[in-house]
Amino acid sequence: MKIGLIDVDSHNYPNLPLMKLSAWHKAKGDNVEWYSPITSGYCDIVYMSKVFSFSPDYPYSINADKIVRGGSGYAIKLVDGVEVYDKSADIDLPDGVEHIYPDYSLYPEMTKDTAYGFLTRGCPRGCNFCHVASKEGQCSVKVADLSKFWRGQKNIVLCDPNILACSEWKNLLQQLIDSKAYIDVNQGLDIRLMTVEKAEMIRKLKVKAVHFAWNRYEDKDIILPKFQMFKEVTGWGYRKMSVFVLVNFDTTFEQDLERVYTLRDIGYNPYVMIYDKEHTTGRDDVRKLQRWVNNRRIFRTVNTFEEYRTGELR
């Protein structure tokens, strides 16, 4: 069979479902290629995968017997300002495809000495600005061992939504430690679930940096002692620990500023994320806050937001 693949989001980040579909078809002896409306001609099946809802859909006609569309990008809709995941608009990969070793050759540059994958799926939190719980379930469950997608590469990019919530966290962290590879937990770690034992294991991971989130202002009393404890156990400095701060969702600007200042004071590096950035008309404040905080050099030299804003006006 002739199989065409379309990464609807562009080719800026490796698309795991397409890498797995490619590996599965190649193992069956099928011909797999990136689909091109000019050079591909007829295909038996074309798979289109879209991770981000804001990516425009594929604009060209497709010459194929069967077209399969999947990915969160097709299933997430904004309803009353909140992301809702519509399962009927997405497809699950069959088990045999989901657990296959990915075909990294689709993205040779980005996967050079780097493995990508999930050890767990799901998250118990159910934050209403996030679709993970409705897509993957409101429980973090182990879905693979590291050997499913890693074969000695120097770097591992872990896409798990909440590995610390999984009952098998200890075994999974040990697998990552034993790999001696550089680990990038790209969805971050849930600081609310941090314990001394977890922090001691994370300290043993080879990481360039870790990131957390302080999205809900009301978590303040739970997470600040956790941040203190994590810093004491690891001995790491702010260059190695960043914290996403979600703004433009349900916090006031004063609460946004408080989170930014507090994190800096306790030795972490805040990183401002704007919720629904495309629709921030009238929110110049959060855009300026993001520009100030996320430029580390400026953030570390201009002490307050007021000073930054005054400087910008000059």
**Site residues (CB under 6 A) for ligand SF4?**
123, 125-127, 130, 132-133, 161-162, 190
Q: Taking CA 276 as the corner, what is the angle to CA 274 and CA 280, rounded to the nearest 5 degrees?
A: 80
**Tokens found for residue 93:** 């990969």
Choice between 125 and 231, CB closer to ligand SF4: 125
Q: How many CB atoms lie within 10 A of CB 293?
A: 23
Q: If we measure between CA atoms, which residue out of 183, 198, 75 comes closest to residue 132? A: 75
Q: How far is the CB of 226 from ligand SF4 (least distance, A)?
A: 14
Q: How far is the CB of 69 from ligand SF4 (least distance, A)?
A: 24
Choice between 18 and 246, CB closer to ligand SF4: 246
Longest Cα–Cα distance of the chain, Å, equals 65
- Amino acid identity at 147: S
Distance of alpha carbon 260 from alpha carbon 262, whole angstroms: 6
Choice between 93 and 273, CB closer to ligand SF4: 273
Q: How far is the CB of 89 from ligand SF4 (least distance, A)?
A: 19
Q: How many residues does the chain have?
A: 314
Q: If we measure between CA atoms, which residue out of 296, 280, 185 comes closest to residue 238? A: 296
Distance of alpha carbon 130 from alpha carbon 85, whole angstroms: 9
Distance of alpha carbon 72 from alpha carbon 51, whole angstroms: 5
Choice between 75 and 123, CB closer to ligand SF4: 123
Choice between 69 and 211, CB closer to ligand SF4: 211
